[in-house]
Amino acid sequence: MTINNKKIWITEHELYKAGDFQEAILIGNKFLSTKVKRNIIINNRFADFYFMETPIESRIQSVQYDVLTLSLSLPDAAEEASAKIELYAFNNFQFRILTGTKDAEKNIIVFSDFSEMAAGLWRMFIHVDNKLYPLNLLEPFAEPFSSYHHQLRILSRNSVFYLELIPHSVKIDSLLIEEKQNYEYLVSLALSGGNTGFEYSLLVDEPKSGMLKSYPLKRQNERLQTRLPMKELLENLFVKRFFLVEHSEEPKVYRFSMDKQLLNDTTTHYKIISNSQFVKLRFYRRKDLSLGLAMTQAKLKKAIREVNDFQLKGVIGSIEEFIGSKAYLMIEDRLSQDSLQVPITGEFTVDLNSLDLIGIKSKDKTVLDLFVVIENVSGEIIRKEKIRYNKARYKKDNYYSYKKQYDDQGNEHHFMITTTPFNNVKVESFTIRSHVKIPVDVEAKDENIWLMGERTNTAQDNGIVFFKWLQENTSIESYYVIEEDSSDYEHIKHIPNVLIFGSDKHFEIAFKAKVLLGTHDLENILPYKPARGFFGYEETVKIFLQHGVLGRKNVEYHKKNYDMPFDLFIVSSDPEKQVIVMDEMGYEDHEVAATGLARFDKLLQVNLPKDILLMPTWRDWINTDEQFLKSEYFLAYANLIQNEKLLSLLEEYNVNINFYPHYRAQDYFQSEIENMHERIKFIPLGSQTVQQLLIDHALLITDYSSVSFDFTLLNKPVVYYHFDVDRFFRKGILRPIEETFIGGIGTYEEELVTIIEDRIKSNFANFEYEITGIIKHQDQQNSRRIYDEVQKLIEVKKATKV
């Protein structure tokens, strides 16, 4: 902060306690959330709402189980409106919508069903004519009431109306957990104050997957008992929570309230066998004082320690945790999943020279991933995990060991042992067919020949837009490369200078092109390895066209990740250039240009759409089919597109959700989710361009994808699903969330659906945000600026060489 233009520190007051000031502030027409931790953040999180300063007076008429009856002095606009009244409840970072019904007297409104509200303090507003009026309480009201999950208290702070929701809890006097036969666990507990006459059940909740299972509790000598079939609970190894459900005329669900010493009187740690491997079970007291269950599978210890002469030396341990099982090193083609398996135990050496790597290649240019697999006595793979190199020095354009091999037709197969950004070992390979002519002087390059592309199988991004612009506006001999079996190839194959990846013409142009331009790594546009020593690669000019706006997750394009980094890095704004690409990623000022992205030139909204696009990005920690189907990621989106409230909203407002999963998740969602609701439409990869999808929809739901900036540039709303935000940004976030996630943010399913509901009811009005700090140029001249920057770079390099 500054006072009289002098900077001052803010320090903690002696009375400050962690967690203070977790309450939003209404100032003028803004409702500002606050967060105090190591720093102070005041955020206009609800900028899309218009808050009125003038309060509406209210009285509590009555309360009963899950029902609140109010009398309100409604404005004229509300008096003339329908019989439905919406009450908006805001806490510091979330909001909920409660729908009330007016009776004949117009000013008496009944609100029921508080199931979507979470614990905490909520400030109440009435929604009238797209405005939110704060509610004041004319008279204090001391009587609490209950819903299924909470006790609700009505509070008046300086006459402001708040609802405080406090979870039901029940004191547990004793708790015993005993292991029985057939993986059943007897749970026996005694309630403080003795048992009532109600029937109870034990509810097991798995928050990450949404799984709920209920087990009836029987009375036995003043105790309540049930048997937990652990095989049911082992379907997912996510953390479980336990609740007590009271089955009465006013049913309630209770958290356990346990003293620290309570679990000392029973066994809490167990080790059982599941899927031919040991799993550790741990019952524990959670931070909210309730009972939890953590389940941990055996850890597979493995590593590569040395890479020399195309041999791998490594170690595998903890095999005793896998009952009667064997371990193999698997070398698997990434596309076809054809593989070789080599048995390994303890300290091992695998000589890749002796393996038929050519025989498992699916394409001329491919990647072979390395896994350790554990196979049980029935021959079933029970674990499959990538293996890391302890001495990895990650560089995208280098390798640890290399060999060249010829097949029976005289084709050259090049193999390089490399690592991923996570230090997982892989083998990259490319082939040069025997009839391909390699120039005598591979270092001679033509500065008028530019080769560009995106991913090897796409033509939807900055690459194809810039390629078309060059052809229409310049004399540059530009070429675009794409795989022949790509669906996008069919849309562009009629355009001159479109090359099939790996074709003779592709090699010819790749050997001659001076300028290489890619939206991703140049691996995607060259038929050989982009590394020093391969066909004059060091003599090329390397342009990163970019495929999004940086500022969220840590990407892999840091200058330190290359022996020969990009010569020019394209960005969309000066803050992105300075804060991200220069300060964070290590590039110099002259190596970065804030031109804007080429694809922004084609973002023109003509017609007003009304459907919703659901377009999540990928999770880099998911490596196998089994991991995917058990992942929080898969379950989150599978549950979302089956959410009953969301589906009823789509029906009521005649809106569809078009679901376009990330290309790596397409097959999973398409095959695993059966009988989708008719309002949920699956969009196959390549059936439409991403740019056209953005233009054709009124609302975008994503999680962390940078296509959200394109949508915002079209002046349309984006809603973000941040159910795993801490894990996604576990390696850090480049700019604060509130600076780059421009729109509504839902951290769990019910909150997300509420935000979607609000946008639908607002006729898909956009959130009001300033975006010049994200996208500098809001015109259709981005390609022109990129071209000018590349030409300047070529001239500088020529002058330097002279």
pLDDT: which is higher, 767 or 359: 359
The whole-number pLDDT of residue 17 equals 66
> Are the C-beta atoms of residues 407 and 358 closer than 8 Å to each other?
yes
**What is the model's pLDDT at position 37?**
66
Q: Cα(515)–Cα(479) distance, rounded to whole angstroms?
A: 10
| Block residue for tokens 């999180």 | 45
pLDDT(334) > 90: yes
At 342 the pLDDT is 97
Q: What is the CATH number of domain 446-601?
A: 3.40.50.11820
* Phi, then psi, of 568 in degrees rounded to 5: -145, 130
Please give the average per-residue pLDDT across 453-470, as a whole number.
95
More reliable by pLDDT, 38 or 503: 503
What is the per-residue pLDDT for 27?
85
Q: What topology is assigned to 605-761 in CATH?
A: Rossmann fold (3.40.50)
pLDDT exceeds 70 at position 21: no
Burial tier of 464 (Cβ tally within 10 Å: 0-12, 13-18, 19+): buried
Give the pLDDT confidence score for residue 784 in this predicted structure: 97
Residue of 711, 713, 728 whose CA lies nearest to 573? 713
Residue 82 scores a pLDDT above 60: no
| CA 579 vs CA 552, 576, 735, 789: distances in Å | 12, 6, 8, 20
End-to-end alpha-carbon separation of the chain, Å? 52
Q: What is the pLDDT of residue 26?
A: 85
Q: What is the pLDDT of residue 654?
A: 94
pLDDT greater than 70 at residue 709: yes
Average confidence (pLDDT) over 454-469:
95
Highest mean pLDDT among 129-143, 497-511, 690-704, 744-758: 497-511
CATH of 169-297, one of 2.60.40.10, 2.20.25.90, 1.10.260.40, 3.40.50.2300: 2.60.40.10
What is the model's pLDDT at position 106?
A: 64
Which of the four pLDDT bands, split at 50, 70 and 90, describes residue 35?
confident
pLDDT above 90 (res 456): yes
| pLDDT the model gives residue 786 | 98
* Domain spans of the chain, in order of start: 25-165, 169-297, 305-432, 446-601, 605-761
Name the band, by pLDDT with cuts 50, 70 and 90, for residue 734.
low
Q: Please state the rounded mean pLDDT for residues 121-145.
A: 90
**Does residue 18 register a pLDDT over 90?**
no
Q: Kindly state the average pLDDT of the residues 762-779.
A: 82
pLDDT digits (tens, 9 = 90+) for 655-693: 999 999 888 888 878 776 667 889 999 888 878 888 889
Query: What's the pLDDT score for residue 363?
Result: 95
Please state the rounded mean pLDDT for residues 131-155: 94
The whole-number average pLDDT for the span 482-489 is: 94
Distances (CA, A) of 198 to 174, 194, 218, 244: 19, 12, 11, 12
Kindly list the distances between the CA atom of residue 738 and the CA atoms of 43, 530, 586, 724, in Å, as whole numbers in the listed order: 7, 37, 24, 16
25-165 topology per CATH = Immunoglobulin-like (2.60.40)
Please answer whether residues 479 and 499 qualify as being in contact, where contact means their C-beta atoms are separated by less than 8 angstroms.
yes
Predicted confidence band of residue 19 (pLDDT cuts 50, 70, 90): low
Angle in degrees, 0-180, between the axes of helices 749-761 and 644-653, rounded to the nearest 10 = 10
169-297 matches 25-165 in CATH topology: yes
Q: What is the rounded average pLDDT for all residues in the chain?
A: 90
Task: Kindly report the pTM of this predicted structure.
Answer: 0.77
